[in-house]
């Protein structure tokens, strides 16, 4: 397949939130190669193994090419009484599939109200598509039940940073962090494997500029090799660890008094709270030697600005929001916010999970973080998206009937589907059946649900539970934008046609919305109520019109080469590489007094190990990279890391079969005997199907504020098979 390409198309990587740009080489309508593009703003010539070799999933024979519906839907048979033969898929045309979905959505809405319908957007789809998913939910159906997978990862970051600073996004840019920071704190973030190109830049800063690096992680990862201090705290003790660091800072008077006085509030209460966290007391809770904690605090406090960098190791806990608040405290204490080389740098996982949130695929926020509880925001969207006749429901906004109360979160949507009162669920590109916690529970809900529509590129594990499958387009087959972890909005461009009859997701959503409105006998009348989009550029123009944060963003500017990080409040605004310069978004930065609380499930005699979970370098989510040949060859099966001490005691050897068992289920895997994990801890990943997926055992217990599950700590038994 190599040789001279027919065309070269510059686009954005579909995997992680670093948002590398590269060139797709296309021959005979197939992507044959990914090449570096020297003009790439984030990555220059660098690409990781996923970006460079992971593209062939686009042409995999598993791709969905025609809509499919279950035979019982065409035969008019009740789902519950359908035989196996009646449950089979039937390939059909778009008219049949979309008319069926539209009719069902209208029927459920009329019979049980708008909140009996739920929508899940996708962190892998474009901004424009996520905007349309939430518009479909809010305008056409009249519900705030719309979410995306951020609920499973960085929702605590959004909640915590909003409380502290007034904006929930990564504050700085990868460039200034890598080039201007004088110290790094990397906590709960396996940056080399999860954000590889940025991980390389951090490593280079350590090696070339001598920047001191403190890594806080229960696990030894590749980046810990470069750390001046590795704080290997027990899973679920981040607040204690961070309070301990701040205790030492305050004890030595290393905090930035003037900054705190001028720009922050709540300091005294916070100070009183960290008083008890002496390094010795923290050592008992975390397992970190007091001397290491003192040394780390000194390095971080004496070398400023210091950039705090974190991932879902911080957020996927029942204390996720508290952990983020503690990090916000640390950065205010040291005066590191609003300056290049400092900041609160939460690394978002998926290519456009930032964008899915920005566009309002969240149960409590309209596009651009306008709260659904705000009367002004409700009135604005009710007018912009107005329909005629108005919503029949009593209460709510006059035209759309939208409530001033938030909808349900992702985990609540799944819980209410099947056993609860949520009767229809529309999922775009989210693999609930492998990436939710406590999969036996999740699958039970999906199996019991009344009507599940899945818009996807593959027949994923979730497709097993779907009633209708709508074939979408992959990143290389459509136009639109992704927003990377540093709030940078970047174009993707169509390089090859979608396979068979598959269509870009934005086109499917617009078509479905038009049919649903028609089936409901309603017509768009508001200035942004229509669904006749020519292309994604026009959708972005609508986003700019309704969300002030993005008012100056357009595809035309991006095509011209403008490098835009939001907020971009006007068409002549250059974008905002660093947030909170000269003042916080909320006015004063707010310190919060936060206390250590243990993980929800601690080890005991029956389940004596702590399981923590994460990614491996070669894989991304749960379906795409497994269909990329080079990546699957490099990492063909799931592994569970076990420490050499524990392995010896349990009779496990490297490569032998091992079973993890929790109160919720079991996973069977190969053991990797390694001191990357501490004795008493095991580590597994979620990239593989069915019995090999670690989410069979993870817990669905939630952070009370953000409703994010505690993927990073649960109690398991470890057994040879």
User: By C-alpha distance, which of 715, 702, 119, 694 is closest to 435?
Assistant: 694
Determine, following the binding rule CB under 6 A, whether residue 47 of this chain makes contact with ligand SF4. yes
In whole angstroms, how close is the CB of 23 to ligand SF4 at the nearest point?
12
From 46-54, 62-70, 114-122, 339-347, give the range in contact with ligand SF4 by CB under 6 A: 46-54
Nearer to ligand SF4, 197 or 239 (CB): 197
Residue nearest to ligand SF4 (CB): 51
In whole angstroms, how close is the CB of 155 to ligand SF4 at the nearest point?
21
User: By C-alpha distance, which of 440, 315, 508, 369 is closest to 696?
Assistant: 440
Identify the DSSP state of 575. Answer: -
Determine, following the binding rule CB under 6 A, whether residue 50 of this chain makes contact with ligand SF4. yes
In whole angstroms, how close is the CB of 50 to ligand SF4 at the nearest point?
4
Beta-carbon count within 10 A of 602 CB: 13
Nearer to ligand SF4, 20 or 410 (CB): 20
In whole angstroms, how close is the CB of 18 to ligand SF4 at the nearest point?
4
- What CA–CA distance (Å, rounded) separates 704 from 702? 6
- What CA–CA distance (Å, rounded) separates 362 from 294? 40
Nearer to ligand SF4, 197 or 422 (CB): 197
In whole angstroms, how close is the CB of 30 to ligand SF4 at the nearest point?
20
By three-state DSSP, how is residue 491 classified?
Answer: strand
In whole angstroms, how close is the CB of 124 to ligand SF4 at the nearest point?
12
In whole angstroms, how close is the CB of 689 to ligand SF4 at the nearest point?
21
Beta-carbon count within 10 A of 587 CB: 11
In whole angstroms, how close is the CB of 217 to ligand SF4 at the nearest point?
19
Nearer to ligand SF4, 48 or 547 (CB): 48
Across-strand partners of 119?
Answer: 146, 426
In whole angstroms, how close is the CB of 313 to ligand SF4 at the nearest point?
18
Nearer to ligand SF4, 19 or 665 (CB): 19
In whole angstroms, how close is the CB of 654 to ligand SF4 at the nearest point?
28
In whole angstroms, how close is the CB of 496 to ligand SF4 at the nearest point?
19
What are phi and psi for residue 683, nearest 5 degrees? -130, 135
Contacts 24+ apart (CB under 8 A), 440-443: 440/664, 440/665, 440/696, 441/664, 441/700, 442/414, 442/700
Nearer to ligand SF4, 15 or 310 (CB): 15
Nearer to ligand SF4, 486 or 542 (CB): 486
Residues 1-20: x where in contact with ligand SF4 by CB under 6 A, - otherwise, as a string = ------------x-xx-xxx
Q: 369, 354 in Cβ contact below 8 A?
A: no
Beta-carbon count within 10 A of 361 CB: 33
Beta-carbon count within 10 A of 394 CB: 6
Angle between helices 536-546 and 375-384 (to 10 degrees): 140
Angle between helices 320-333 and 238-251 (to 10 degrees): 20
Nearer to ligand SF4, 51 or 504 (CB): 51
Nearer to ligand SF4, 315 or 485 (CB): 485
Write the DSSP string, 192-240: HHHSHHHHHHHHHHHHHH---EEEE-SS--GGGGG-SEEE-PPTT-HHH
Beta-carbon count within 10 A of 6 CB: 12
Write the DSSP string, 616-644: -TT--SSSTGGGSHHHHHHS-S-EEEE-H
Q: 73, 80 in Cβ contact below 8 A?
A: no
In whole angstroms, how close is the CB of 175 to ligand SF4 at the nearest point?
14
Binders of ligand SF4 among residues 189 to 228 (CB under 6 A) are 195-197
Residues 530-549: x where in contact with ligand SF4 by CB under 6 A, - otherwise, as a string = --------------------
Using CB under 6 A, count the residues that bind ligand SF4: 14
- What CA–CA distance (Å, rounded) separates 530 from 524? 5
Strand positions, DSSP E, 654-710: 657-661, 666-673, 681-685
Determine, following the binding rule CB under 6 A, whether residue 615 of this chain makes contact with ligand SF4. no
Identify the burial level of 292 via C-beta atoms within 10 angstroms of its C-beta, where 0-12 means exposed, 13-18 middle and 19 or more buried.
middle
Nearer to ligand SF4, 48 or 164 (CB): 48
Q: Which of 26, 48, 73, 149 binds ligand SF4 (CB under 6 A)?
A: 48
From 40-48, 421-429, 537-545, 683-691, give the range in contact with ligand SF4 by CB under 6 A: 40-48
Q: Which of 41, 51, 166, 536 binds ligand SF4 (CB under 6 A)?
A: 51
In whole angstroms, how close is the CB of 202 to ligand SF4 at the nearest point?
12
Binders of ligand SF4 among residues 320 to 339 (CB under 6 A) are none
Nearer to ligand SF4, 226 or 465 (CB): 226
Nearer to ligand SF4, 36 or 303 (CB): 36
Binders of ligand SF4 among residues 156 to 195 (CB under 6 A) are 195
- What CA–CA distance (Å, rounded) separates 670 from 656? 6
Nearer to ligand SF4, 14 or 552 (CB): 14
From 43-51, 313-321, 518-526, 545-553, give the range in contact with ligand SF4 by CB under 6 A: 43-51
Sign of CA dihedral 450, 456, 462, 466: positive
Determine, following the binding rule CB under 6 A, whether residue 348 of this chain makes contact with ligand SF4. no
Write the DSSP string, 512-555: HHHHHHHHTT-EE-STT-----SSHHHHHHHHHHH-GGGTT--H
In whole angstroms, how close is the CB of 230 to ligand SF4 at the nearest point?
23
Q: Which residues bind ligand SF4 (CB under 6 A)?
A: 13, 15-16, 18-20, 43, 47-48, 50-51, 195-197
């Amino acid at each position: 397949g190599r040789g001279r390409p027919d065309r070269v198309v510059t686009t954005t990587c579909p995997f992680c939130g670093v948002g590398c740009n590269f060139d797709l080489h296309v021959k005979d309508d197939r992507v044959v190669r990914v090449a570096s593009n020297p003009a790439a703003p984030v990555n220059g010539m660098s690409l990781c193994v996923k970006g460079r070799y992971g593209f062939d999933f686009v042409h995999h024979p598993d791709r969905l090419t025609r809509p499919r519906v279950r035979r019982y839907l065409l035969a008019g048979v009740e789902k519950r009484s359908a035989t196996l033969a009646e449950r089979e898929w039937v390939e059909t045309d778009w008219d049949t599939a979309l008319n069926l979905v539209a009719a069902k959505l209208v029927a459920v809405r009329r019979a049980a109200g708008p909140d009996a319908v739920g929508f899940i957007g996708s962190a892998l789809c474009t901004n424009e598509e996520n905007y349309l998913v939430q518009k479909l939910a809010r305008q056409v159906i009249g519900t705030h039940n719309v979410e995306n997978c951020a609920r499973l990862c960085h929702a605590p970051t959004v909640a915590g940073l909003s409380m502290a600073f007034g904006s929930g996004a990564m504050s700085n840019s990868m460039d200034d962090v890598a080039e201007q920071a004088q110290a790094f704190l990397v906590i709960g973030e396996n940056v080399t494997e999860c954000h590889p190109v940025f991980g390389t830049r951090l490593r280079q800063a350590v090696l070339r500029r001598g920047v001191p690096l403190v890594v806080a992680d229960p696990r030894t990862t590749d980046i810990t090799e470069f750390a001046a201090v590795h704080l290997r705290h027990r899973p679920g003790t981040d607040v204690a660890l961070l309070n301990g660091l701040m205790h030492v800072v305050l004890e030595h008077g290393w905090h930035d008094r003037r900054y705190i006085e001028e720009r922050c509030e709540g300091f005294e209460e916070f100070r009183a709270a960290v008083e008890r966290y002496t390094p010795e007391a923290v050592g008992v809770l975390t397992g970190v030697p007091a001397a290491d904690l003192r040394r780390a605090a000194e390095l971080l406090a004496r070398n400023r600005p210091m950039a705090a960098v974190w991932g879902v190791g911080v957020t996927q806990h029942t204390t996720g929001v508290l952990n983020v608040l503690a990090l916000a405290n640390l950065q205010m204490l040291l005066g590191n916010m609003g300056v290049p080389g400092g900041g609160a740098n939460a690394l978002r996982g998926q290519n456009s999970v930032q964008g899915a949130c920005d566009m309002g695929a969240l149960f409590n926020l309209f596009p651009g973080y306008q709260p659904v509880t705000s009367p002004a925001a409700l009135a604005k969207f009710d007018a912009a998206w107005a329909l005629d006749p108005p919503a029949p429901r009593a209460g709510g906004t006059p035209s759309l009937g939208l409530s001033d109360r938030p909808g349900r979160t992702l985990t609540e949507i799944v819980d209410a589907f099947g056993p609860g009162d949520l009767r229809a669920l529309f999922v775009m590109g989210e693999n609930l059946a492998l990436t939710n916690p406590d999969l036996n529970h999740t699958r039970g809900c999906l199996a019991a649900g009344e009507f599940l529509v899945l818009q996807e590129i593959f027949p994923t594990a979730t497709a097993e539970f779907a009633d209708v499958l709508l074939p979408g387009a992959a990143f290389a087959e459509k136009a639109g934008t992704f927003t990377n972890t540093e709030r940078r909005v970047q174009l993707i461009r169509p390089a090859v046609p979608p396979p068979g009859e598959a269509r870009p997701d934005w086109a499917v959503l617009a078509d479905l919305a038009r049919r649903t409105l028609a089936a409901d006998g309603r017509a768009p009348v508001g200035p942004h109520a229509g669904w006749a989009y020519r292309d994604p550029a026009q959708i972005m123009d609508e986003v700019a019109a309704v969300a002030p944060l993005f008012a100056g963003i357009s595809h035309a500017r991006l095509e011209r080469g403008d490098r835009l990080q939001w907020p971009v409040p006007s068409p002549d605004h250059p974008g905002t590489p660093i947030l909170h310069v000269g003042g916080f978004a909320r006015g004063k930065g707010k310190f919060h007094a936060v206390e250590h609380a243990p993980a929800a499930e601690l080890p005991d005699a029956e389940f004596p190990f702590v399981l923590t979970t994460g990614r491996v370098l070669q894989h991304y989510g749960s379906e795409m990279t497994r269909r990329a040949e080079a990546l699957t060859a490099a990492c063909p099966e799931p592994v569970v890391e076990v420490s050499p001490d524990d392995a010896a005691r349990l009779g496990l050897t490297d490569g032998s079969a091992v079973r993890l068992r929790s109160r919720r289920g079991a996973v069977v895997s190969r053991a990797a005997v390694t001191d990357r994990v501490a004795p008493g801890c095991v580590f597994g990943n979620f990239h593989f199907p069915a019995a090999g997926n670690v989410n069979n055992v993870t817990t669905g217990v939630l952070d009370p504020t953000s409703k994010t599950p505690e993927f990073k700590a649960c109690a398991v038994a470890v057994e040879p098979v």
